[in-house]
Amino acid sequence: MPTNVVAARLLHSSLREVFDRASLPDTRVRVEPQAAIFATGEEDESVYLIESGQVKLSMASAAGKDCLLAIYTSGELFGESCFHGAPKRIETATAMQPTVIRRASRTDFLAEVEKARATEALLRHLAGRMIERQVAVFDLVTMPSEQRLAKVLLGVAEKLGTVEGVYLRLDQKISHEELSQIVGTTRPRITAFMQRFRKLGLIETEGRAVSVHRARTKEFIGSER
Amino acid sequence: MPTNVVAARLLHSSLREVFDRASLPDTRVRVEPQAAIFATGEEDESVYLIESGQVKLSMASAAGKDCLLAIYTSGELFGESCFHGAPKRIETATAMQPTVIRRASRTDFLAEVEKARATEALLRHLAGRMIERQVAVFDLVTMPSEQRLAKVLLGVAEKLGTVEGVYLRLDQKISHEELSQIVGTTRPRITAFMQRFRKLGLIETEGRAVSVHRARTKEFIGSER
DNA sequence: GCAGAGGTGTCCAATTCTGAACAGACGCGG
DNA sequence: CCGCGTCTGTTCAGAATTGGACACCTCTGC
């Protein structure tokens, strides 16, 4: 493992400790599935840490089309857009499962970051978020939707799945509808692609669980075009 | 004007002053058009400030497809991805015109930011970059390409153009090819859309210059769907 | 003044994609 | 164990998009 990855993890965990000190105990909240933590247009200048569960970030267009920007899970920080200083949220954060989060106000968190001399860790974190979005833009512009789906599946499986031999197993954490909102296509196409992936041996499904074959999927993403 | 916008401007200019102190005089470089300032895969942990000219950020796929992420101009900072801590660039920065830039190493810049207590301004800036990318993802996922083009034209015109009555005039700063790499479509489609925009009165062209009708273009982006 | 290099305008066949519809499967709560 | 809602699987006609081609234009440098 490259040393810089190790460094990033250490710094990340230090951010978590900083968050612990910045958040008051009574900010621990249990959120039901489908419930919003914050929504577009709301005033909310806080950052959040996920203790357990999963949260998705999304934006909706005037026409009612949704875009799913990211999925975060246990131990992850989200809501960093408040550092921009605009009082209103531009995106919506929704629990995907029964989820427990903790909240810290932007100012409290920044004060603790300064105290702990963790500014660099925070910058690293924010730059990481920027790069994640940047890569998403790149993929949308340069890859065909089928390959984007493969990449998204692999990414989600690596983040949320459990290792099971050559497979990463995902237990029904994400619907075709949601996948379509990440990939940028329609739900029927997702279904069709998934069918094809099954034939190609990239994935296996049993019930609602999906297992992603790591090596084959990686190869598929790299190949063709 | 909302007070937070004013605050953002003040903080932004303070970042520039910080940059001044962090960059050594001999880091001022003149870059010829089409020349790279840094390229994907290169080791470079610096941030840059544009004194004059224009710089584009792009990424290229293995298949040779390019994605144009952003265009920056005089007074803007770029290269913030180095705050992530990875030694190598994931994107390429290219001068679009004869351009003069100044450079500051990541560490020098961060040291000066701390000295000047400008950490919040830097966080605000980075969060802003993240949001820019995020909105780009959203647009790619939810808007048809014709509207995306209209939005891109308006954005570029507001950034680089000069006010001329109800129009914003752009003097041939950007080719159809480049537009296609922002919008995420092919060059012939850009040409066709531009044609249509002309008929609809959204833009006017004389020679290589393009004038964007602000109000009409805004309305077009908001309307339909 | 000519050649060549971009850039723009245009066309078209092949392909991909959308949007809407409908049926069946599954799981949850009453 | 029944009904309902959500999710998946499937189909399809129509629309949008691609990618390749070619002509023309305007610069630039030789």
pTM here?
0.92
Give the list of residues 6+ apart from residue B41 with CB closer than 8 angstroms, or none: B88, B89
CA distance B124 to A114: 15
pLDDT at A218 over 50: yes
Token reading at A66: 């949704």
- The pLDDT score that the predictor gives to residue B225 is 41
CA distance A113 to A17: 10
Mean pLDDT throughout B59-73? 93
Of all residues in chain B, the one with the smallest CA distance to A62 is B225
Cα–Cα distances in Å, from A124 out to A97, B51, B58, B84, B112?
28, 26, 21, 4, 17
The distance (Å) linking the CA of B169 with the C1' of D23 is 29
Locate the DSSP E strands across A32-91: 36-38, 46-52, 54-60, 66-73, 77-78
pLDDT at A201 over 50: yes
In this structure, is the CB of residue A175 within 7 Å of any atom belonging to strand D?
Answer: yes
CA distance B216 to B141: 23
Token reading at B129: 């970059």
Mark yes or no for CB contact A141/B140 under 8 Å: yes
pLDDT above 70 covers what percent of chain A?
A: 92
Of all residues in chain B, the one with the smallest CA distance to A181 is B141
Query: Which letter does DSSP use for residue A81 in this model?
Result: G
Mark yes or no for CB contact A83/B126 under 8 Å: yes
B8: pLDDT confidence band, cut at 50, 70 and 90? low
Query: What is the Rg, in whole angstroms, of the alpha carbon atoms belonging to chain A?
Result: 18
Mean pLDDT throughout B70-84? 96
Mark yes or no for CB contact B141/A62 under 8 Å: no
pLDDT in tens, A80-118: 999 999 999 999 999 999 999 999 999 999 999 999 999
Locate the DSSP E strands across B98-207: 99-105, 162-164, 167-171, 203-206
Query: Which letter does DSSP use for residue A166 in this model?
Result: T
A225: pLDDT confidence band, cut at 50, 70 and 90? very low
Q: A53 with A74: CB under 8 angstroms? A: yes
Query: What is the Rg, in whole angstroms, of the alpha carbon atoms belonging to chain B?
Result: 18
In this structure, is the CB of residue A119 within 7 Å of any atom belonging to strand D?
Answer: no
- The pLDDT score that the predictor gives to residue B14 is 83
Say what angle helices B119-142 and B145-160 make with each other, to 10 degrees.
150
Measured between CA atoms, how close is B7 to chain A, in angstroms? 9
CA distance B52 to B29: 11
pLDDT in tens, A108-136: 999 999 999 999 999 999 999 999 999 99
Mark yes or no for CB contact A67/B143 under 8 Å: no
